[in-house]
Amino acid sequence: MQQYDLIVIGSGPAGRRAAIQAAKLEKTVLVIERGGHVGGVSVHTGTIPSKTLRETVLNLTGWRERGFYGRSYRVKQQISAEDLRRRLLITLDHEVDVLEHQFNRNRVQQLRGMAKFRDANTLEVTKDDGEVVHVRGTSILLAVGTRPYRPAHIDFDGQTILDSDDILHIKDVPRSMIVIGAGVIGIEYATIFSALDTVVTVVEPRDGMLDFIDKEIVEDFTYQLRDRNMKLIFGQTAEKVEKDEGGKVRVTLKSGRVLGAEMVLFAAGRVGATDTLNLEACGLVADSRGRLKVNPETFQTDVPNIYAAGDVVGFPSLASTSMEQGRIAARHAVRAPAQDPPQYFPYGIYAVPEISTCGLTEEEVRQRGIPYECGIAHFRETSRGHIMGLESGMLKMIFSLKTRRLLGVHIVGEGATELVHIGQAVLNLKGTVEYFVENTFNYPTLAEAYKIAGLDAWNRMGELPAKKASA
């Protein structure tokens, strides 16, 4: 039986980073993947496809130019599902090619098949052709990710009642759509289809959406969605989803209200892909949502030679954080411990418009009783914003009045997911409001919004006490 220093199950962001990290440390590494290609949910059904779809929609609709040419402006008049898919296939091919090359040049071995435990060090892998092989690992990393939650009472058919995997294979762009669940997946797809002029209704049992984002940013975002006629129904649960004789879908809410549309996207959460791993054989137990408990610093499970990283360990369930978790887990597994990660990581929501955030929200700052001041910049105040025809977009920073340090940065609008990294760097390097006031920013850029927001806060915070004294 082949023996490896590290066996990784799953080739998504967590698995691939872990494998390459261990290989760089000259360990023998095997990645087992049940899918036809490497990349995981991130490359094949999640991050990359949804972001490629978003980019295609923004390009073909001419969305970014509408500030100049009006809401009816379109680059391509009739946009078909085939138009949307074409770019997707090219992007995915490139991603897979890069990953395969990385594995090859780092001598990471691969095995295609479904893995399950025989004992804490031995895995049984059933290949596509039915052949069964056994492999042993000194350490094993579970990077098996998640799949969409599909309740039994909903009759998914892949074309009119869909989950977020199916949506990449639709044959027609729907004229109307109901999105069940206003989590990140639901909101990203709802706003992408709304940009295609699909009439979108979102149903969410909570009283609002994206409750981990600064409230002022969510309010601005919500206003923009409603302004373009998206219907947001909060505080209501979708109970029944059925097809009528005409092929349309009816969604019955708990209140009795009935909604109709050509398509329903069910995006109410995901479950860990642990049910087929035969966890009993290694002594691990998953929770009711298929997730595994780990030490948050090392990603070690209760069984010392078994690690878990990525979406299967739950929050924050991002490709970005999964990669880091995988790297840290691999280092620990091969006895090369990693440094502690910086305190703050960013969160990027690729809705239309984008939202991105890092650090504390205003609500969290208030709960902690920290005296603070906010600085706000609207993109329409920047020259770059004028050139781009931006009518919306804002950047908000929160500073401590005591230490003058940046506590949080929150952005909604064009380029938010890129812009946030300036704030993230200042946050993690413990910078103060003076950084934004005293540094020169390229002009004209959207990054100038940092300067404007910094000055806005500084005007209310006043001079540094030392400067006041020496003046």
Ligand X SMILES: NC(=O)c1ccc[n+]([C@@H]2O[C@H](COP(=O)([O-])OP(=O)(O)OC[C@H]3O[C@@H](n4cnc5c(N)ncnc54)[C@H](O)[C@@H]3O)[C@@H](O)[C@H]2O)c1
Cα(286)–Cα(389) distance, rounded to whole angstroms? 50
Spatial CA neighbour of 313 closest among 5, 4, 18: 18
The yes or no reply on residue 204 touching ligand X (CB under 6 A) is yes
Cα(30)–Cα(2) distance, rounded to whole angstroms? 10
Q: Cβ 100 to ligand FAD, closest distance in Å? A: 14
Cα(50)–Cα(128) distance, rounded to whole angstroms? 28
Q: Which is nearer to ligand X, 269 or 444 (CB)?
A: 269
The interface partner of residue 459, options being ligand X, ligand FAD, none and the CB cut-off 5 to 8 Å by kind, is none
The answer to whether 173 and 80 have CB atoms below 8 angstroms apart is yes
Spatial CA neighbour of 237 closest among 252, 259, 225: 252
Please, which residues have CB within 8 angstroms of residue 344's CB and are 6 or more apart in sequence? Answer: 358, 359, 424, 427, 428
Where would I find the H helices in 228-266?
A: none
Residues numbered 257 to 316 that lie near ligand X (CB under 6 A) are 267-270, 316
The yes or no reply on residue 179 touching ligand X (CB under 6 A) is no
Residues numbered 349 to 388 that lie near ligand X (CB under 6 A) are 349-350
x-marked contacts with ligand X along 214-253 as a string, rule CB under 6 A: -----------------------xx---------------
Q: Cβ 126 to ligand FAD, closest distance in Å? A: 9
Helix (H, G, I), strand (E, B) or coil at 315: coil
Contact pick of 20, 318, 397, 411 for ligand X (by CB under 6 A): 318
Contact pick of 180, 218, 390, 409 for ligand X (by CB under 6 A): 180
Which residue type occupies 108?
V
Q: Cβ 229 to ligand X, closest distance in Å? A: 20
Helix (H, G, I), strand (E, B) or coil at 383: helix
Q: Cβ 347 to ligand FAD, closest distance in Å? A: 8
Spatial CA neighbour of 252 closest among 269, 238, 263: 238
Q: Which is nearer to ligand X, 54 or 384 (CB)?
A: 54
Q: Which is nearer to ligand FAD, 34 or 327 (CB)?
A: 34
Q: Cβ 42 to ligand FAD, closest distance in Å? A: 3
Please, which residues have CB within 8 angstroms of residue 219's CB and are 6 or more apart in sequence? Answer: none
Helical pair 319-333 and 13-24, crossing angle rounded to 10 deg: 40
Cα(178)–Cα(200) distance, rounded to whole angstroms? 6
Residues that bind ligand FAD (CB under 6 A): 9-15, 32-35, 40-42, 46-47, 50-51, 114-115, 143-146, 164, 185, 273, 276-277, 310-312, 317-320, 322, 348, 350
Residue 68's CB: how many other CB atoms inside 10 A?
Answer: 10
Q: How many residues bind ligand X (CB under 6 A)?
A: 24
Q: Cβ 112 to ligand FAD, closest distance in Å? A: 9
The interface partner of residue 31, options being ligand X, ligand FAD, none and the CB cut-off 5 to 8 Å by kind, is none
Cα(315)–Cα(293) distance, rounded to whole angstroms? 11
The interface partner of residue 180, options being ligand X, ligand FAD, none and the CB cut-off 5 to 8 Å by kind, is ligand X
Q: Which is nearer to ligand X, 24 or 51 (CB)?
A: 51
Strands (E), 181-290: 199-204, 231-234, 238-243, 249-253, 258-261, 263-266, 270-272
The interface partner of residue 121, options being ligand FAD, ligand X, none and the CB cut-off 5 to 8 Å by kind, is none
Q: Cβ 261 to ligand FAD, closest distance in Å? A: 20
Residue with tokens 């959460």: 269
Please, which residues have CB within 8 angstroms of residue 465's CB and are 6 or more apart in sequence? Answer: none
Spatial CA neighbour of 192 closest among 338, 325, 88, 335: 88
Q: Which is nearer to ligand X, 182 or 395 (CB)?
A: 182
The yes or no reply on residue 348 touching ligand X (CB under 6 A) is yes
The yes or no reply on residue 206 touching ligand X (CB under 6 A) is yes
The interface partner of residue 237, options being ligand X, ligand FAD, none and the CB cut-off 5 to 8 Å by kind, is ligand X
Residue nearest to ligand X (CB): 183
Positions that interact with ligand X (CB under 6 A):
180-186, 188, 203-206, 237-238, 267-270, 316-318, 348-350
